[in-house]
């Protein structure tokens, strides 16, 4: 069997390519400031609110806020609803969601009727 120039060239090229594809070994060393560990420990100790809510309405008139709460409950009965007075507005807040993802899923449903609704984490007073 006689090989032509093209076949020899392809075999040589394949051999060279195979040699260049051998795995390389290395070592990764991570050096970090010791203050990072201290900061991580402090972060564990910080109390954070784990509750998310969705605001669906706000108005200065408490009667309008009460009507909107009733309207919301007629449309969606899956979540608790409350009216919160936050100077100078009465706000209709929905839910006690444990995670941002859970709040976002509810928001996707609520946005069909309440386009200006938004999720948030209420500030807690310690």
pLDDT in tens, 41-62: 776 666 555 799 999 999 999 9
Q: Of 44, 46, 70, 48, which Cα lies nearest the Cα of 57?
A: 70
CATH class (in words) of the domain with range 52-120? alpha beta
pLDDT of residue 74: 96
Instruction: Write down the pLDDT at residue 23.
Output: 60
Domain ranges of the chain: 52-120
Model pLDDT, residue 57: 97
Q: Which residue has the tokens 């060393």?
A: 29
Low-confidence ranges of the chain (pLDDT < 50): none
| Predicted pLDDT of residue 36 | 83
50, containing H or E segment = none
pTM: 0.60
């Amino acid at each position: 069997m006689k090989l032509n120039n093209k076949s020899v060239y392809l075999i040589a090229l394949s051999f060279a390519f195979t040699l260049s594809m051998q795995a390389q070994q290395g070592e990764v060393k991570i050096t970090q400031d010791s203050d990072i560990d201290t900061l991580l420990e402090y972060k564990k100790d910080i109390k954070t609110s784990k509750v998310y809510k969705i605001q669906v309405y706000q108005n200065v008139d408490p009667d309008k806020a009460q009507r909107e709460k009733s309207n919301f409950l007629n449309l969606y009965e899956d979540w608790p609803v409350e009216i919160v007075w936050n100077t100078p507005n009465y706000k209709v807040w929905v839910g006690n969601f444990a995670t941002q993802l859970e709040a976002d899923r509810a928001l996707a449903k609520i946005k069909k009727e309440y386009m200006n609704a938004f999720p948030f984490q209420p500030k807690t007073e310690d």
